């Protein structure tokens, strides 16, 4: 045995077997032979390499201690002994067994395959107690992230013959630690209900078995704090502070109570606005004219940033580089005003050396790079870099995207590093739908937002209902020819067997390529070509003469070009309470084909939030007109119907109708509607996702080219502009399968032949 000076050598972990020694003075050793005993799977040369002691080499006690520790730290042995016997050193080891298989017991929420990815212990590897403990901790962490903080994981071994063991992780999952209550302290301007809508975290509610955002994840609280800050800043609270976010666990460790402590401060508005130039020869008035900011507006960082961007873009258009606009704020606490002075100054001469992109395993570099308005060699604009980072995050392709600037190869250059984390961008859906008028239907859909990593959108859907079958294919290239131009291509086909609502069938196929591009900060223009093939068939003898006349024409081809202009103030984010949307479009048919007309449509929407942003008020005005040309008449597959325009009536329940065939909805060449809505909470917990609304709709569908279908005698068709109106209440339910809207309507003004529909269940749509 090793003599007294080696007592310290054998101080080790509990897993290592050692033999006690009596004290002695330090001494040196020289071994002519080094022998390894006890090893089975590991070669002696490997163990000698760990020891590092050669034959005939003089070694001290300290050197033996180092050799011992090196062998122990290899993690391959259950026990280690170094035994000097004269000129021979015996290294006696007991190897850790080999892992035969790794099993998981007690797990239900996480599958074996998921846990096997987490655990680093694998079959046919040497068993390591420390690694097994690390794996147990990693598995417990995976459960914690999913809200099961009470989960326990214990690694056990079952010994087998041949120095093998089965490694078993015994798991007790425990219950999900849900967030029982989200509360706020210090909020005066907004209610708890309104602030809960801002947070990513949600309270446990009716859908707790489906919604995963009600589980407690500590890391999510930091995001929630930032969301609260952004919410208040956008509404003029420049001094907002989210002081703390505390979480208390219940005694049963299955629920959390989260409290956010807020110091709101006061709301500020814009006071005096001025512009000064500190660059010789630069006219400040010209830059002031580019601003879109007024005294009295609610202050927000986005408002200031947007105006700075306008002035800096003006400088670039004038060929001025390294021009920076600094906002200088003067506070008027008593008046609640912030005076803003935009100072035009000379910026540092720093260039972008290069843009490095990492982490995009699927998405091509060019998809990320085109979000930058800056390229290599351009002057550095920190504001543009921040805006590019926001555009990258807005793509929806990445779970996380970080953009940072670091010093380049020289003092006047920087390197912009983009680090992204990919996330799934495609979905395959199978589902069923129900509509009061359309009945039960089934659908399958494929959607990919980042096709082949090129940033292209691809969609395919097939659906069938009681009366209809349809399919569509869409493709979108958002950066056609490398520019801010979206190339769109869509194909659709629809067949209807309308035996439940009308006495004829229709078939419509459509193909439409389009280009969409910006005209300004808030406006866009789409130009398109449309090829449509439509046919009316199976019109019985009792059908309206108009239907029979149009059915006799057979298949009709429409070839048209068109455009749609849209102006949307909501995309700027400057008014978080609402905004304005204007949309105007026209299609000109007659480029070949069988029909000639001009179709015009227009929409105007205005909305705002009141009562601490709890109530949303909305007004929508919509209209359309078809002007037939060349002596042709409009077809029923082109005309307007009341479906979705005025609630309280069936999709074909209003508009021109043949009194001799009242089941036939004829549609109209013109329509105009006004819809007034209010959405508000109904007193249920916000996490249930249920809110209410009221509405009032008024409008009409009217006008036909042909009012008798070529038949002689009195005109049996009423195509007059007869106003209809309805009032009702709505229930909105934000479910995991989509936002649902239940409408209960009561027609107020109607015609005797109109078809009412007092209840409707639809998917809620947003303009």
Q: Please tell me the predicted confidence (pLDDT) of residue 438.
A: 58
CB 368 within 8 A of CB 421: no
Region 4-95: CATH code: 3.10.20.310
Q: Please tell me the predicted confidence (pLDDT) of residue 316.
A: 84
Q: Phi, psi (5° rounding) for residue 12?
A: -150, -165
Is residue 439 very low, low, confident or very high in pLDDT (cuts 50, 70, 90)? low
Q: What is the pLDDT of residues 745-755, one digit of tens each?
A: 999 999 988 88
Q: What is the pTM of this model?
A: 0.73
Q: Which helix (H) or strand (E) holds 306?
A: helix 301-317
pLDDT: which is higher, 571 or 478: 478
Closest-CA residue to 88 (of 51, 55, 40, 39): 55
Q: What is the pLDDT of residues 238-271, one digit of tens each?
A: 999 999 998 887 776 667 889 999 999 999 999 9
Is residue 213 very low, low, confident or very high in pLDDT (cuts 50, 70, 90)? low
Q: Please tell me the predicted confidence (pLDDT) of residue 16.
A: 35
Q: Is 362 exposed, middle or buried (0-12, 13-18, 19+ CB in 10 A)?
A: middle
Give CA 256 to chain center in angstroms: 26
Q: What is the pLDDT of residues 4-44, one digit of tens each?
A: 333 333 333 333 333 333 334 457 888 888 888 888 778 88
Give CA 614 to chain center in angstroms: 24
Q: What is the pLDDT of residues 345-403, one digit of tens each?
A: 998 889 999 999 999 999 999 999 999 988 888 888 888 888 899 889 888 899 888 99
Q: Please tell me the predicted confidence (pLDDT) of residue 313.
A: 87
Phi-psi region of 644 (alpha: psi -120 to 50; beta: other; left: phi over 0): left
Q: Please tell me the predicted confidence (pLDDT) of residue 2.
A: 37
Q: What is the pLDDT of residues 661-698, one digit of tens each?
A: 766 788 999 999 999 999 999 988 777 778 999 999 99
pLDDT: which is higher, 198 or 664: 198
> Who contacts 657 (Cβ-Cβ below 8 Å, separation ≥6)?
664, 665, 666, 717, 718, 753
The CATH topology of domain 351-422 is Ubiquitin-like (UB roll) (3.10.20)
Is residue 437 very low, low, confident or very high in pLDDT (cuts 50, 70, 90)? low
Is residue 45 very low, low, confident or very high in pLDDT (cuts 50, 70, 90)? confident
Q: Where are the domains of the chain?
A: 4-95, 98-172, 178-263, 269-346, 351-422, 424-483, 498-763
> Who contacts 667 (Cβ-Cβ below 8 Å, separation ≥6)?
636, 639, 640, 641, 652, 655, 656, 701
- Architecture per CATH, domain 178-263, reads as Roll (3.10)
Is residue 710 very low, low, confident or very high in pLDDT (cuts 50, 70, 90)? very low
> Who contacts 557 (Cβ-Cβ below 8 Å, separation ≥6)?
531, 532, 533, 592, 593, 594, 595
Alpha-carbon distance of 538 to 664, in angstroms, equals: 13
Is residue 320 very low, low, confident or very high in pLDDT (cuts 50, 70, 90)? confident
Specify the range with the lowest mean pLDDT, choosing from 66-75, 213-222, 546-555. 213-222
SS3 content of the chain, % helix, strand, coil (to 5): 15, 45, 40
Mean pLDDT throughout 132-159? 88
Q: Phi, psi (5° rounding) for residue 131?
A: -70, -35
Closest-CA residue to 440 (of 386, 500, 360): 500
Q: Phi, psi (5° rounding) for residue 748?
A: -100, -50
Percent of the chain with pLDDT over 70: 90
Region 269-346: CATH code: 3.10.20.310
Give CA 575 to chain center in angstroms: 21
pLDDT greater than 70 at residue 737: no
Please check whether the two domains, 269-346 and 498-763, share a CATH topology. Answer: no
Mean pLDDT throughout 55-81? 85
Mean pLDDT throughout 540-554? 86
| Helix ranges, 199-300 (H) | 218-233, 284-288
Is residue 214 very low, low, confident or very high in pLDDT (cuts 50, 70, 90)? low
Q: Please tell me the predicted confidence (pLDDT) of residue 233.
A: 95
If you ran DSSP here, which 8-state letter would residue 102 be given?
E
Q: Which residues of 636-660 are buried (b: 16+ CB within 10 A; e: fewer)?
A: bbbbbbbbebbbbbbbbbbbbbbee
pLDDT greater than 90 at residue 441: no
pLDDT greater than 80 at residue 435: no
Region 98-172: CATH code: 3.10.20.310
Q: Please tell me the predicted confidence (pLDDT) of residue 139.
A: 94
pLDDT greater than 60 at residue 113: yes
Closest-CA residue to 724 (of 761, 673, 676, 759): 673
pLDDT greater than 60 at residue 714: no
pLDDT greater than 80 at residue 648: yes
Is residue 304 very low, low, confident or very high in pLDDT (cuts 50, 70, 90)? very high
- Architecture per CATH, domain 498-763, reads as Beta Barrel (2.40)
Mean pLDDT throughout 628-634? 89
Q: Please tell me the predicted confidence (pLDDT) of residue 424.
A: 87
CB 665 within 8 A of CB 704: no
Percent of the chain with pLDDT over 90: 46
Average per-residue pLDDT for the chain? 86
pLDDT greater than 90 at residue 46: no
CB 140 within 8 A of CB 148: no
Q: Please tell me the predicted confidence (pLDDT) of residue 767.
A: 55
Alpha-carbon distance of 483 to 192, in angstroms, equals: 44
Is residue 47 very low, low, confident or very high in pLDDT (cuts 50, 70, 90)? confident
Residue 99 is encoded by which pair of tokens? Answer: 């892992």
Among 334-338, 392-396, 435-439, top mean pLDDT goes to 334-338
Closest-CA residue to 681 (of 76, 194, 208, 126): 194
Residue 41 CB neighbours (<10 A) = 12
Q: Phi, psi (5° rounding) for residue 76?
A: -100, -10
């Amino acid at each position: 045995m090793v003599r007294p000076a080696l007592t310290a050598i054998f101080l080790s972990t509990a897993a290592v077997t050692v033999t006690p020694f009596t004290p002695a003075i330090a001494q040196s050793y020289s071994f002519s032979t080094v022998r390894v005993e006890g090893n089975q799977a590991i070669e002696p040369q490997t163990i000698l390499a760990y020891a590092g002691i050669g034959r005939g080499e003089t070694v001290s006690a300290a050197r033996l201690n180092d050799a011992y520790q090196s062998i122990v730290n290899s993690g391959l042995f259950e026990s280690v002994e170094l035994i000097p016997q004269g000129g021979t050193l015996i290294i006696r080891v007991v190897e850790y067994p080999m892992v035969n298989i790794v099993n998981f017991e007690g797990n239900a929420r996480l599958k074996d395959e998921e846990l096997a990815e987490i655990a680093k212990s694998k079959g046919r590897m040497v068993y390591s107690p420390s690694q097994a403990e690390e794996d147990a901790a990693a598995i417990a962490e995976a459960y914690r992230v999913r809200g099961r903080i009470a989960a326990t994981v214990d690694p056990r071994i079952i010994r087998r013959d041949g120095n093998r063991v089965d490694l078993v992780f015994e798991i007790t999952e425990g219950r999900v630690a849900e967030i029982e209550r989200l509360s706020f302290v210090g909020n005066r301007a907004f209610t708890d209900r309104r602030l809960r809508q801002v947070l990513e975290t949600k309270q446990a509610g009716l859908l707790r078995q489906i919604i995963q955002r009600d589980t407690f994840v500590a890391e999510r609280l930091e995001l929630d704090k930032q969301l609260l800050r952004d919410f208040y800043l956008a509404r003029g609270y420049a001094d907002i502070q989210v002081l703390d976010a505390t979480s208390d666990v219940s005694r049963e460790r299955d629920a959390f109570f989260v409290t956010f402590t807020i110091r709101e401060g006061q709301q500020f508005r814009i006071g005096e606005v001025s512009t000064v130039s500190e660059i010789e020869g630069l006219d400040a008035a010209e830059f002031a004219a580019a601003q879109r900011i007024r005294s009295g507006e609610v202050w927000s960082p986005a408002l200031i940033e947007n105006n700075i961007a306008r002035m800096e873009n003006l400088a670039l258009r004038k060929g001025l580089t390294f021009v920076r606009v600094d906002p200088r704020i003067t506070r008027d606490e008593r008046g609640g005003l912030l005076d803003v002075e935009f100072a035009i100054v000379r910026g540092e001469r720093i260039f972008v050396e290069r843009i490095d992109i990492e982490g995009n395993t699927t998405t091509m570099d060019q998809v990320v790079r085109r979000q930058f308005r800056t390229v290599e060699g351009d002057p550095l604009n920190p504001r543009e870099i921040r805006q590019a980072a926001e555009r990258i995050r807005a793509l929806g392709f990445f779970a996380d995207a970080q953009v940072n600037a670091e010093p380049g190869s020289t003092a006047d250059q920087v390197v912009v590093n983009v680090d992204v984390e990919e996330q799934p961008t495609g979905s395959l859906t199978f589902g069923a739908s129900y509509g009061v008028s359309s009945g039960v239907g089934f659908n399958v859909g494929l959607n990919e937002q980042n096709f082949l990593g090129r940033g292209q959108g691809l969609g395919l859907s097939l659906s069938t209902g009681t009366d209809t079958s349809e399919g569509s294919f869409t493709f979108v290239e958002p950066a056609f020819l490398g520019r801010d131009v979206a190339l769109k291509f869509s194909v659709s086909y629809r067949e209807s067997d309308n035996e439940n609502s009308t006495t004829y069938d229709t078939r419509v196929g459509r193909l439409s390529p389009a280009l969409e591009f910006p005209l300004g900060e808030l406006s866009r223009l789409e130009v398109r070509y449309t090829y449509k093939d439509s046919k009316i068939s199976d019109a019985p003898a009792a059908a309206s003469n108009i239907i029979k006349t149009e059915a006799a024409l057979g298949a009709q081809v429409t070839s048209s070009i068109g455009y749609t202009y849209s102006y949307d103030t909501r995309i700027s984010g400057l008014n978080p309470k609402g905004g304005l949307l204007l949309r105007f479009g026209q299609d000109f048919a007659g480029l070949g084909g069988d029909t000639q007309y001009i179709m015009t449509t227009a929409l105007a929407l205005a909305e705002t939030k009141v009562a601490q942003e709890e109530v949303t008020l909305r007004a929508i005005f919509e209209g359309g007109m078809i002007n037939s040309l060349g002596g042709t008449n409009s077809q029923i597959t082109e005309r307007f119907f009341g479906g979705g325009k005025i609630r309280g009536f069936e999709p074909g329940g209003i508009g021109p109708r043949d009194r001799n065939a009242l089941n036939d909805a004829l549609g109209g060449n013109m329509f105009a509607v006004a819809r007034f809505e209010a959405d508000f909470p109904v007193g249920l917990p916000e996490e249930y996702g249920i809110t209410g609304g009221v509405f009032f709709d008024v409008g009409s569908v009217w006008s036909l080219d042909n009012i008798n279908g070529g038949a002689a005698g009195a005109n049996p068709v009423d195509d007059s502009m007869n106003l209809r109106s309805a009032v009702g209440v709505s229930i909105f339910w934000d479910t995991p399968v989509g936002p649902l809207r239940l409408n209960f309507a009561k027609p107020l003004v109607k015609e005797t032949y109109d078809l009412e529909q007092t209840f409707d269940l639809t998917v809620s749509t947003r303009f």
